[in-house]
C-alpha cells in the first residue's frame, strides 16, 4: 500500500521529482497486487509510479485519486504490460490520467478506467509508440 507519498527532488536532473511513490530505472520490473492512493510527483510525471526501462509489468494494481501533468503511471520503455488493474478518479493536466506511455509493443488487458480526466490528451491512456494493444478493458465515466 502506497498512500500520500511525494517526490519533490531527485538526486539529479533526470530523476527530478518523478514517481511520487515509486521510481524505477531498470528493466524487467514487476509491480503486483499493490494499492496506490493520492501520491504526488513534483515534476508531474508519474504521480504514483515512474519507470524508465523495458519489460515492466503491473498486475492486479489499483490507482486512486492522483493528480499529475502526465500519468498516474508513467512508463518510458517498450514491452510494458498493465494487467487486471484499476484506475479511478485520476486527473492529468497534459495527458494520460491513468497511463502515460512512451514505447512500443505495450499491452493493457482486463483493466478498468473509471472517472479519469485529462485536459489535453487521453483521459485514461496516452501513448507514444507502435503496436500497442488494449484488450478486454472497461472505460467509463
Q: Which three cell numbers stand for residue 40?
A: 504526488
Instruction: Note the pLDDT of residue 11.
Output: 60
Average pLDDT of the chain, as a whole number: 94
Alpha-carbon distance of 58 to 21, in angstroms, equals 14
pLDDT tens digits for range 79-109: 999 999 999 999 999 999 999 999 999 999 9
Instruction: Note the pLDDT of residue 49.
Output: 98
Alpha-carbon distance of 10 to 87, in angstroms, equals 26
Cβ burial of 96 (10 Å; 0-12, 13-18, 19+) is: buried
**6 band by pLDDT with thresholds 50, 70 and 90:** very high
Contacts (Cβ under 8 Å, ≥6 apart) of 92: 67, 68, 69, 70, 71, 72, 100, 116, 117, 118, 119, 122, 126
**13 band by pLDDT with thresholds 50, 70 and 90:** low
Cβ burial of 131 (10 Å; 0-12, 13-18, 19+) is: exposed
Alpha-carbon distance of 92 to 69, in angstroms, equals 5
pLDDT tens digits for range 31-63: 999 999 999 998 889 999 999 999 999 999 999
> Average pLDDT, stretch 124-141?
97
Instruction: Note the pLDDT of residue 42.
Output: 86
Amino acid at each position: 500500500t502506497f498512500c500520500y507519498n511525494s517526490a519533490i527532488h531527485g538526486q539529479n536532473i533526470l530523476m527530478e521529482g518523478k514517481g511520487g511513490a515509486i521510481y524505477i530505472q531498470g528493466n524487467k520490473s514487476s509491480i503486483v497486487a499493490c494499492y496506490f492512493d493520492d501520491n504526488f510527483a513534483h515534476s508531474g510525471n508519474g504521480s504514483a509510479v515512474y519507470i524508465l526501462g523495458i519489460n515492466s509489468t503491473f498486475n492486479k494494481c489499483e490507482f486512486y485519486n492522483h493528480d499529475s501533468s502526465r500519468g498516474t503511471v508513467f512508463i518510458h520503455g517498450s514491452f510494458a504490460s498493465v494487467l487486471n488493474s484499476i484506475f479511478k478518479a485520476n486527473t492529468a493536466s497534459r495527458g494520460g490520467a491513468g497511463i502515460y506511455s512512451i514505447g512500443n509493443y505495450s499491452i493493457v488487458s482486463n483493466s478498468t478506467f473509471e472517472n479519469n480526466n485529462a485536459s489535453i490528451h487521453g483521459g485514461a491512456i496516452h501513448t507514444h509508440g507502435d503496436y500497442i494493444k488494449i484488450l478486454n478493458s472497461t472505460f467509463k465515466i
